[in-house]
Amino acid sequence: MIRKVWLALGGAAAMAVLLSPAALAQDGQPTADGGTSRGRTVRTDAVKINTYKIILVGDSTMAPTSGWASMFCAHHVKSSVACLNLGRGGRSTRSYRAEGSWDGAMAEAKVPGYRATYVLIQFGHNDQSSVAERWTDMAKEFPDNLRRMVEEVRAARAIPVLVTPLTRREFVKGKLNNTLEPWSAKVREVASALKVPLVDLNASSAALVQQMGAEAATTLAQTGPNAEELAAARAGSTLKPRSAEDARLPPVPTGADGPRGQFVRKFDYTHVGDKGADVFAALVARDLARAVPDLRSQIAP
């Protein structure tokens, strides 16, 4: 068409025809009313969305590759939620603050631009520890630390959510030995006193693990049990966890560039692999939606 018009009219007259709205529309270019012949509509601005932020603060049972939180962020929140897993292995309510991790979490909580920011707090495993830099007194220090965290989250204009510690999967004669129940009771007390939403992960995970039984629960670990550990689980009583020295880091990656980080994957009754993370993240999603109704539309089962 363009060649025929140019030859028939020539010069300025041809140019005027080619730049007319009708001619532009025939070539799929913008028309005078802002549309095109190829079906594009008139331009408008996108509707503003409401975005949320969830910050996860806790120990190794929340941390990447050893806990449930990364699976929660990957599979259970919508794209309108910024989900940040700040769980770190070996941390207690005391050491998480002492090393500066809590300062980082609070800096994230203060970032503006979100309709609401939620901080999920889960500790207990390492507060229960005997390691010098970790342990806390369960009767007073542990709940006091949680209260301080709640108050500081609120001061940052964010919303605290307390999470009771994930159960260990230790069994004695077919019965789950839930050693973290007393610590969970303290978390519940703080949540009740300060009117904080509560995700009772200890209760829900303990019920599920008891239902599974000792043998099936071994499949939730980072790696599989050895023959002796599996035989004991089949008999209903788990063995004492292997020492930390039995865990081995994978070979250090070679080469001048590329990722160099390493994760330990081991069999025990505390940490979880992908299957365990998937199972417990689903429990958190369900119970968080119940505890915080405003997040229901943002959380997937």
The stretch 88-114 carries a mean pLDDT of 98
How many degrees, rounded to 5, is the angle at CA 190 between CA 299 and CA 87?
50
Two structure tokens written together for 256: 């001048």
Q: What is the pLDDT of residue 81?
A: 98
| pLDDT value for 244 | 67
28 neighbors 93 (Cβ within 8 angstroms): no
Residue 7 pLDDT > 50:
no
Q: Would you state the pLDDT for residue 79?
A: 97
Rounded to an integer, the average pLDDT of 130-138 is 97
* pLDDT tens string 211-253: 999 999 999 999 999 999 999 999 999 999 987 666 666 677 7
For the four alpha carbons of 275, 167, 121 and 248, in that order, the dihedral sign comes to negative
Q: Are 196 and 187 in contact (CB under 8 A)?
A: no
Per-residue pLDDT at 6 exceeds 50:
no
Q: Record the pTM.
A: 0.85
For 178-187, how does the pLDDT look when each residue is reduced to its tens digit (9 = 90+)? 999 999 999 9
Mean pLDDT of 260-277: 92
The Cα–Cα gap between 153 and 119 comes to: 7
Angle at 55 between CA 50 and CA 57, to 5 degrees: 165
> Of residues 242 and 105, which shows the higher confidence score?
105
Can you list the domains of the chain with their CATH numbers?
52-167+177-202+272-298 (3.40.50.1110)
Crossing angle of helices 141-155/101-109, nearest 10°? Answer: 30
pLDDT tens column, 10-65? 555 544 444 454 444 444 555 555 555 567 889 999 999 999 999 999 999 999 99
Q: What share of the chain in percent tops pLDDT 90?
A: 78
Query: What residues have CB less than 8 Å from 156, skipping those under 6 apart?
Result: 106, 109, 110, 117
> Looking at residue 234, what is its pLDDT?
98
Say which range, 139-153, 166-180, 259-273, has the weakest mean pLDDT. 259-273
For the chain, what is the mean pLDDT? 90
